[in-house]
Amino acid sequence: MGSVGAKDIPVLLTPEGLRIDGRRLDELRPLRIQAGPLHQADGSAFVEWGANKVMAAVYGPREVHPRHLQQNHKAVIQCKYNMAAFSVDERKRPGLDRRSQEISKVIAEAFESVVFAEEFPRTSIDVYIEVLQANAGTRCAGLVAASVALADAGIPMVDLVPAVAVGKISGQIALDLKKEEDNFGEADLPMALVPQSGRLVLLQMEGHMTPDELSRALDLGVVGCKAIYEKMKQALRDRYSVDPIAAGAA
């Protein structure tokens, strides 16, 4: 990509309040969720969010491998988030990397708050997230996909878990950052909400915000999550209410 000089920084917000892709500050990118596209997994979901393409699959509850990881009183939730080599502009070498490991951990912890794991002691619920094409907000897209996949797998949960990244661009709080906004903006705040309780089960932040900006960002994120929540529910309804052959053929 080469080094970026001052004149290469894109205009993130016009005076009329339009973002680089024409959105307003509180608008989500186009989001399409498909439940159950995979045949082998117990549950699966495919999310297209802006230019992100993320696939999630759930296997379980099933026997734990390796056995020493099993827990006596509940299922262990294992999550693996991975980015395909071709999912980013500069090819990513296959294999574990620290960023993916961290994201895997925070996503697994988010689900541990909502899954009724005590119903399945000594088993494992395995969540796999593959980012096929990335454009900022992949951990949120992955979480949304995994949440739908868990429901598709029939795993009992308190609620679905919508997630979105809020940020700050040109001094303004903005919902659902895309790549350029994430790269050149002033803050990035991914969050995940349990609508039923109104509580956040994933929260990270990077950048700089005043407490007031942070407060507004949280509110905006909750609004965004609620809109995403409706789409997640609709994706599951679509899966089971239409002819399964037609739904699966998409």
Using CB under 8 A as the binding rule, whether residue 244 contacts other proteins is answered as: yes
Using CB under 8 A as the binding rule, whether residue 128 contacts other proteins is answered as: yes
Least distance from C-beta 120 to other proteins, angstroms?
A: 5
Using CB under 8 A as the binding rule, whether residue 121 contacts other proteins is answered as: yes
Binder among 11, 21, 30, 65 for other proteins (CB under 8 A): 65
Closest by CA position to 178, among listed 55, 86, 49: 49
- Judged by CB under 8 A, the stretch of 14-22, 148-156, 162-170, 220-228 that binds other proteins is 148-156
For residue 130, count CB atoms less than 10 angstroms from its CB and return exposed for 0-12, middle for 13-18, buried for 19 or more: middle
SS3 of 37-51: the string is CCCCCCEEEEEEECC
User: Can you spell out the DSSP letters for 192-231?
Assistant: EEETTTTEEEEE--EE---HHHHHHHHHHHHHHHHHHHHH
Q: What CA–CA distance (Å, rounded) separates 20 from 104?
A: 30
Return the number of the residue (186 or 238) whose C-beta is nearest other proteins: 238
Interface with other proteins (CB under 8 A), residue total 58
Binding site for other proteins (CB under 8 A): 2, 38-43, 51, 53, 55-57, 59-63, 65, 72, 75, 80, 82, 84-91, 94-95, 116, 120-123, 126, 128, 130, 132-135, 151-158, 196, 236, 240, 243-245
